[in-house]
Amino acid sequence: MLAHGDIIGNYVGDVSLHHFEFLVSGDALAQIAATEHYVNPGDIILSKEMHAIAHDEVAVKDVNAEATALGFKLLVDLHNPSSLAQSAKTPANVKLSSDKQSILALFNEPSIVEKLSVIAGSWSRLASSSAALRSRISRHDLCTIMFISIDSKKLNSTDPQTNLEGLNDAFMSFYSPSKLFGGTLRQFLTDDKGTVAIIVFSGRESNTISACRSAIKIQDNFADHGIDSNIGISTGKVFFGPVGDQNRCEMAWIGDSVNLAARLMGKAKVKIPPCHPPPSPAP
C-alpha cells in the first residue's frame, strides 16, 4: 500500500523513566488502514492522494467497484521506469560519540542497551558487527509475552495535541509497572489495528507471575486515565536476537508464544461466561 499525507511524529515517555518512544501517526496511516479489506496477496494499491501525485508516472487499474468509489487504484506498471532516481549509496558506518550514544540510548530499552554494552563494549562497535558477535547476542529463551491493546477517547481524537496526550498517558500507565516487575518493552506502535504495546518478561523463573502482577497494575493505571484495554499473556520458548543488518537493526522476540499472546489479546474483547450459573433469585 502506498499513501501520501500529513505525518505526525510524537515523542512519549519521561526523563524520570530514562526512556522515550517515537511514534508516527497521521493521515497517511489512516489511508493505509482503509485499504485493508481490498488488498490481496501481492497487490500494490495506491490511495487516492498517492494516485493524484503519481498518475502521470504509473499504470493502474480498478480494484473493485467499492474500492474505486474510495479512489483506490491497483498499481500495474510504471510508464517510464528509467526516470526513477538512482538509489543512494549505502551509508558509511559512523562511530557515535559517547554523548550521542547516551541520547540514542534513551530511545531503546535500558535492559537491551545494558546487554549490548556488555557484549560489544559500546553501541558504536555494533556498527561493524560480525557474525560471531550476532551469534553471541542471539539465543532461544523461555519468556512470557504480554500484548496490550489500548483505546481511549484521546487516542481517537483528531486533534494532534490531544492524541499525543493520550499516547503519553497510555505509555506512562503501562511502562512503569512493566519495569517494576522486570518487563522489557518490545514495541509500542499505532497502526491500522490500533495502539498496541508488546512487553517481554525473561530471565526469571517467575516470569509468568511477574507478567500477571504487572497486567493487574497496568489495568488499574488505565482505569485512572479512562483507558480501555485488552491484554493477552503467553509463556513459551522464543528466539531472541537482532533482526536486520548493521545499517538498520532491532532486537526481536519471535516464536509461537508471541503469536498466541496476540491472539489472546484479541479474544480478551469477548466476555468469558462464569464457570457456574448465578443462583436463582429468591421467590
Shared domain check, 142 and 70? no
Beta bridge partners of 183: 201
Range of the domain at 38: 7-79
Whether residues 195 and 233 fall in one domain: yes
* Local confidence pLDDT in tens for the 283 residues of the chain: 566 656 666 667 766 666 777 767 667 777 777 777 788 888 888 888 888 888 888 888 888 888 888 888 888 888 776 655 555 565 555 565 666 666 666 666 666 666 666 565 555 555 555 566 666 677 788 899 999 999 999 888 878 788 888 888 999 999 999 989 989 888 888 876 788 999 999 877 678 999 999 999 999 999 999 999 999 999 999 988 877 766 667 778 899 999 999 999 988 875 544 444 555 555 5
**Does any domain span residue 282?**
no
Please report whether residue 84 resides in a domain: no
Does any domain span residue 277?
no
Model pLDDT, residue 272 = 46
pLDDT at 2: 63
280 within domain boundaries: no
Does residue 217 sit within a domain?
A: yes
Q: Domain with 258 in it: what CATH number?
A: 3.30.70.1230
Instruction: Check whether residue 155 and residue 223 sit in a common domain.
Output: yes
Position 264: which residue type? L
Q: Specify whether 74 is located in the same domain as 133.
A: no
Q: Does 127 share its domain with 67?
A: no
One domain, residues 150 and 24: no
Same-domain check for residues 118 and 258: yes
124 and 73 inside one domain = no
In a domain, 103, yes or no: no
What CA–CA distance (Å, rounded) separates 283 from 277? 17
How far apart are the C-alpha atoms of 232 and 116, rounded to whole Å? 29
For strand 194-202 and strand 139-151, is the pairing parallel, antiparallel, or unpaired? antiparallel
Compute the distance between CA of residue 141 and CA of residue 235 in angstroms, rounded to an integer. Answer: 10
Q: In terms of domains, do 62 and 136 share one?
A: no
Identify whether 252 is part of a domain: yes
Q: Do 124 and 214 belong to one domain?
A: yes
Does 234 map to a domain?
yes
Quick check: pTM over 0.75?
no
β-sheet bridge partners, residue 77? 59
The pLDDT assigned to 278 comes to 53
The total of structural domains in the chain comes to 2
